[in-house]
Structure 1
Amino acid sequence: MLYLLLFINLITFTTFALDKWKAVKHKRRISELSLYIMTFLGGTLGAILGILIFRHKISKKSFLLKIGLIILLQILIIIFIKLKIKN
């Protein structure tokens, strides 16, 4: 499981880097939906690092809000699963 999380985070981080490069070069971009899906599927750390290191989409408040909501949803899912396991 750890290797899977490392892999998805590496892919997510690389995708954020690629999208930033494409933005600078005025090339066709990676959809925000793809970035959201990768973040939701476990690439949260990669997404956060991609946003901070590449300063990617930091001025786009709606994007940051949606990333924050994805993180909140992930936390709630983890809490729900832990409560279900306890019972």
Structure 2
Amino acid sequence: MSEAEVRQILSGWIIAASAWTFVLFGFDKWRARRGGGRVAEASLFWASALGGWPGGLLGILVFRHKSAKGSFQLKFAAAFFIWAALVYAAVRLM
């Protein structure tokens, strides 16, 4: 697999995962306002860690959701670094 193909796959993955993560953050905020069942914080974390961190960051900013919760912010930062480490490892293996 060429470097260009890997980049294309990674780009597609990040876009899809980010869109899904953004929707999760929005849905969780919507449910929080209405007192319904919430999206598990672990689901928000793993969606972010598996490539959706740009969408998660956008969700935090747009919906102002999880922005004041320091423990989640720390987990979100960890999700970013997990993803960055995975991408770095993938690039190094090429």
Q: CA deviation at 1:7?
A: 2.0
RMSD value, Cα: 1.4
Match of 1:53 among 62, 66, 71: 62
Map residues 23-42 of structure 1 onto 2, 5 A cutoff. Answer: 23-42=32-51
Q: Deviations over 1:27-71 (max 9, x none)?
A: 110100111111111111110000011000111100010010111
Identify which of 27, 40, 52 aligns with 1:18. Answer: 27
Following superposition, the deviation at residue 83 of structure 1 comes to 2.4
Q: Once the two structures are aligned, what percentage of the paired residues are identical?
A: 33
Aligned length: 85
Q: Which sections of structure 1, spanning at least 5 residues, go unmatched?
A: none
**Deviation beyond 3 Å, 4+ runs, structure 1:** none
TM-score using structure 2 length: 0.81
Among 60, 63, 66, the residue aligned to 2:72: 63
Task: Output the TM-score relative to the length of structure 1.
Answer: 0.87
SS class of match (2:68): coil
